[in-house]
Structure 1
């Protein structure tokens, strides 16, 4: 209706017609109706062909040629008394063409489209080309989401069939996708498909917060990604059967329906490998064949097979290996046979390894770091891996590898590492800080990544105030015998004045040391094993029930080792760590999981004998029903149990700190509290002097040997307005629940009955809070505003609540 309305009403004079008559024996040609084209040009086209005999076909061809010039809308030939009369009607001559109302496309772009169809000023207008121009322009608008574009063509008639044309474009509002549905799927759910397509085309869908504008180019890419998804999962017969777009009456909303045919899944039936050098066949190839039998056919598996075969022979000294794969598909049985051709060329060995450009690292140390030996296979991939991991140490600015053939040898090569070391390996920093419990602190940090030119990293951290001094030392040493293994040594020293202490800080770790062995990160997993020693001093033993019970478990007389109000404890421990981290982070956006398990147990000859296990989990999961939103799960589980008559030490208790999470409670205000006792003199009825034991509750939280902390965050999608105002912006809501308790409380009948009779704070309460937060990246760094409200328990004092918080993490 669009083109009927504008072209059959406004341009009726553009109708074309042609007729030819028998023009044999014509002696004269007469031309009528032309206004802007000289008659000489028309006569040149006809070339007087009508004056000859038997030239009727030539005349018809010349008439067609006149039409092909696109300058005429009507051509009629009439024969009259040996005279040929040509009645011609010219197309309108465009003096000027203009347009307005185009906001989505620039004027230069529309000019290019007009020139593409030869529609310009000072030429004749062709109706067919003009229709095609408007049709293409309309498609361009639809690809941008404008499905309700109106065109108003204004024509101004001038003299001699000359006109001015103005195209007024009304774009109207952009259409938005309100529903996107896929049907015909059997093997994959709709949520699975939409989740997979979401990462590639996240701005195309409706995410329950804003309507996403339709984008034709992104929709085409989505269809390509949908097909790629099925092909990558082995569905070779996949096809899109039908695409429906249903518009609202005002064309502001679009419902998209895609009907697909999945087909059957294809599996690798067998893998055949042909090796021209049969003597070099490796047994590891059989493992590759077994591992991929029965696996689905997709590009990832084919690429993995090829890479694994190449890696096998690269390690054997074949740098120029060629692996060709041929896929034979049996569509009747839905099976696939892979044929692999391996072409091996020369095998190379390393004859000599040399280093140049080193100033701070010795040759011997470099050989241990690079871990290469002479007369070993030349493996270029392992050389690349070593160079890549060396850059992570920040000891080198660049590393170049030169490989040359040994003179007089065919298969031997020399490897020369040209390195430039990083001279700035030292970092010194001094800063001040404030801690509510310790006051103002002076912090000094010294970092040397190449201590004594040994390639080892040394770290010194000193924290000082008027009361105490904390010193921490770290030494990292890469092991040359074990590739990418790291040996880490730690030591600390805390100096505390006897006259200065805080009542609830009754334990001070005086000094200790620890040696840890870290494995390389393999498939996002890291293991570590540590052994160490700690010396702990109990400062100013005060009438504290739980502390007295703990000291009593160490000795029959808790004050037998008391020296000047100090009680020393010696612990020898072994610690193990398992770390799995596959989180992908970009700005505030995260995806994946980080899981960490830490265990610590005492050796039998220690004063304590306990086992402590701490489990931490962070998981970022996109929500399928709310696109662009992320669900963050955080879980902490801590246990501590002792063996025999000994109790779990109080200084190892779990306490609540929410430095990296959101909560409605303040730090270290959750869990069991200290209960103090005092003997009060009393004279009984017999006038005998005696004493009464009186208990006093406090707000000194000492923690417990058991902890469960769960925190759930819903990270909302980022609105386009905030993306323009801020570099990174994130908002969300959270629900936090934590419980810290002491199992040794109920193990003591007297203490448990004391809790029941004296109505002290229940140490097994669960603390639940909820709230919202806003985080954005400013020029000062990340800033987070948290608004929270406690839910449980109901009678908690206000001094424990943290309803508003601002932090810079």
Structure 2
């Protein structure tokens, strides 16, 4: 039987409305609940409401139960309005759902990608599928403005349009008017007496607009960048002994039109301090003499925070080599402000010696564990060695299979002398299919294609097929490399190739070319972490396709030995790579030597030897001096001449810049064309420094160079090659998305009759 609604007293209803903005209906007389009905649901399941409702069938319903139910449902955040009424012994729960965010979109974006801003909004709690909240939308607007402030857009405006859509949802549209970006027009220093404003500015990332601001974005103010710059200034002064240095104030002002910014930095320099004494204390493990050698800062020198940091790191690393994984070195300074000196005590606490219980490889989904483990020089159940651990990380990094490698030590619970080593890797795609076209200053249009996989089936072996269609040098090559052909780390390299070389590529009439087809098998045997010895053998067939434009020296060779030569060369070599980077080296050296012998099994007998040495030295921040020397020598054996198709060539980028590629050396007496020679020497000196206005960006640098070299032969029907050729010039080096790119403008110093010049040249590839 239907019963009229029974309302709660006005005082209870008023209190509920004041507290929650809700309407409450409940019975004035308690009764036993026979049923509960929920009304107003659109997206939420009734079971969800019953799970939060503190009233169950059979409970006694009263005013307190009604108020508690309202509070409980409202606390879920699912509803904008909650009403509770009674129809007889049935409790009726009437709800109005809070709308959910059905879509988030943006308009007016130019500086940011939509996905990045969506992630930014998610960080403040606003995302598709979550409940709409006006306060949350306001926070989202502020977050979008903050994102634009980081890019220097201080005039950016954000407005939000809320559009209701079906099923109690809303669509959010954030309309952005970006406005102009504010540029840093002036950076002023107050209080600097020792160092000039220009010197201090060179230590900062932020700068006023210059020619390269479009690339560096250094003229856009960023609080994070300013914080980093202030730390750089602090480090600069501390490295020069100014222990009392302090940044007193930092003022950032914006012009009324929000287009210009002005930075004013107030500093206190103080006086430079010298080191009066430095000594070690604590537990030296009876190795005091050995540890003393690691101290790079000496008494009487000007204090340097960088040297002190390097010293403490060297001490910690040395203790780590002895097995003390958690050693600490604390510098305790005693400052004499009257005499401006500091006494440094380095307190050493080695902790307990530990050994490695287990090495865990984490994050590799394709690469097999053994591929990573065989690069580890830190072994399980051995004493912890920080040097071996660092070497292990470098070796895993050099595999090239991972975007990130992190090696960490984790103490083993319940023990004081054991650690686990976690090797966390983030894999990257190691296969590539390339189709491309380019333009070379020597070969004009160049088409290339390749298929490569550096980590076949996660085994660590590599396989590649490459095609190059350069006019002068065309190649089809298949190469397979197994870096661990044996468990001892012997590398096997299998190479099959077909090449055509057209020495007279600048002559449009000649069809003369050298065709080479063959294959070889090499083994690389490491005998240290940086040294590898190579041995190999192969089979090669060389064919000379001659025509009426072919130089006489090649015609004479064909007349005596035939157009086709079958060779069975034996090769051996050695290399040592101690550079800090193979791509952008700044210190260290690289050396290699190779020898090739044409055995009597083939139709040619000869030997050739090649050596190369590179050295890099960084004498100032961002400035690198690089030197390269390479030489080659070949001769015939058994009374046979040196094969002409094995000749060396020089000239052009990668050799002696400013001259036509492969144009140096002997020239044919009849045609005047370069024919190469059996002896070659090339030397290069480069001074590399950052592109002005880009800070210390190692990926974009300029350089000056001095080159020298030439090629000599033994042929009697050649001319030229009289002495070394020298050139100088300037260039630009850029680590571009398609590889290392070098542009150079070269000017010959020595000029002889018959020399061919080419001022502008470019190359994608090697360092020199």
| Count of residues paired in the alignment | 540
Corresponding residue for residue 90 of structure 1: none
Q: Secondary structure at the match of 1:698?
A: coil
Corresponding residue for residue 282 of structure 1: 285
CA distance in 2, matches of 1:176, 1:356: 49
Q: Is the 8 A contact 2:500 2:515 kept in 1?
A: no
Alignment of 1:730-741 (within 5 A): 740-741=709-710
Q: Secondary structure at the match of 1:477?
A: coil
The one-character-per-residue Cα deviations of 1:171-222 (angstroms, maximum 9, x if unpaired) are xx9986899998779xxxx8xx96676132673799999xx99x9x999999
Corresponding residue for residue 611 of structure 2: 613
Q: 2:524 aligns with which of 503, 516, 519?
A: 516
Q: Is the 8 A contact 1:781 1:808 kept in 2?
A: no
Q: Which sections of structure 2, spanning at least 5 residues, go unmatched? A: 1-182, 248-261, 505-509
Alignment of 1:172-251 (within 5 A): 198-200=202-204, 203=207, 228-234=235-241
CA distance in 2, matches of 1:774, 1:358: 35
Corresponding residue for residue 484 of structure 2: 477
Alignment of 1:130-209 (within 5 A): 198-200=202-204, 203=207
CA distance in 1, matches of 2:205, 2:426: 44
Q: Using a 3 Å threshold, how does the CA distance of structure 1 residues 529 and 401 change in structure 2: closer, same or farther?
A: same
Q: How far did 1:766 drift?
A: 3.8
Q: Is the 8 A contact 1:488 1:516 kept in 2?
A: yes
Q: How far did 1:477 drift?
A: 3.2
* 1:273 equivalent in alignment to 2:284: no
Corresponding residue for residue 671 of structure 2: 697
The one-character-per-residue Cα deviations of 1:535-569 (angstroms, maximum 9, x if unpaired) are 454423978666699x89xxxxx95xx57732525
Q: Is the 8 A contact 2:513 2:544 kept in 1?
A: no
CA distance in 2, matches of 1:714, 1:744: 38
Corresponding residue for residue 294 of structure 1: 298
TM-score w.r.t. structure 1 length? 0.49
Q: How far did 1:459 drift?
A: 2.3
Corresponding residue for residue 671 of structure 1: 664
Q: Secondary structure at the match of 1:516?
A: strand
Q: Is the 8 A contact 2:590 2:615 kept in 1?
A: yes
Q: Using a 3 Å threshold, how does the CA distance of structure 1 residues 763 and 259 change in structure 2: closer, same or farther?
A: farther
Q: Using a 3 Å threshold, how does the CA distance of structure 1 residues 461 and 266 change in structure 2: closer, same or farther?
A: same
CA distance in 1, matches of 2:362, 2:700: 49
Q: Using a 3 Å threshold, how does the CA distance of structure 1 residues 765 and 229 change in structure 2: closer, same or farther?
A: closer
Q: Is the 8 A contact 2:322 2:384 kept in 1?
A: yes
Q: Is the 8 A contact 2:201 2:207 kept in 1?
A: no
Corresponding residue for residue 573 of structure 2: 574
Q: Secondary structure at the match of 1:612?
A: strand
* 1:533 equivalent in alignment to 2:537: yes
Q: Secondary structure at the match of 2:435?
A: strand
Q: Secondary structure at the match of 1:456?
A: coil
Corresponding residue for residue 597 of structure 1: 591
Larger C-alpha radius of gyration, 1 or 2? 1
Q: Using a 3 Å threshold, how does the CA distance of structure 1 residues 430 and 175 change in structure 2: closer, same or farther?
A: closer
Q: Using a 3 Å threshold, how does the CA distance of structure 1 residues 783 and 475 change in structure 2: closer, same or farther?
A: closer
Q: Secondary structure at the match of 2:592?
A: strand
Q: Using a 3 Å threshold, how does the CA distance of structure 1 residues 517 and 789 change in structure 2: closer, same or farther?
A: closer
Q: Secondary structure at the match of 2:606?
A: coil
TM-score w.r.t. structure 2 length? 0.51
Q: How far did 1:449 drift?
A: 0.9
Q: Using a 3 Å threshold, how does the CA distance of structure 1 residues 491 and 352 change in structure 2: closer, same or farther?
A: closer
Q: Using a 3 Å threshold, how does the CA distance of structure 1 residues 715 and 413 change in structure 2: closer, same or farther?
A: closer
Q: Which sections of structure 1, spanning at least 5 residues, go unmatched? A: 1-172, 241-253, 276-280, 553-557, 586-590, 624-629, 676-694, 721-726, 756-760
Q: Secondary structure at the match of 2:651?
A: coil
CA distance in 2, matches of 1:180, 1:637: 50
Alignment of 1:394-473 (within 5 A): 405=412, 410-411=415-416, 413=418, 415=420, 427-429=431-433, 431=435, 443-451=449-457, 455-463=459-467, 469-473=476-480
Q: Is the 8 A contact 1:577 1:599 kept in 2?
A: no
* 1:494 equivalent in alignment to 2:520: no
Q: Is the 8 A contact 1:641 1:648 kept in 2?
A: no
Q: How far did 1:315 drift?
A: 4.9
Q: How far did 1:637 drift?
A: 3.5
Q: Secondary structure at the match of 1:705?
A: strand
Q: 1:638 aligns with which of 611, 630, 633?
A: 630
CA distance in 2, matches of 1:357, 1:719: 36
Q: Is the 8 A contact 2:475 2:497 kept in 1?
A: yes
Q: How far did 1:441 drift?
A: 6.5
Q: Is the 8 A contact 1:204 1:219 kept in 2?
A: no
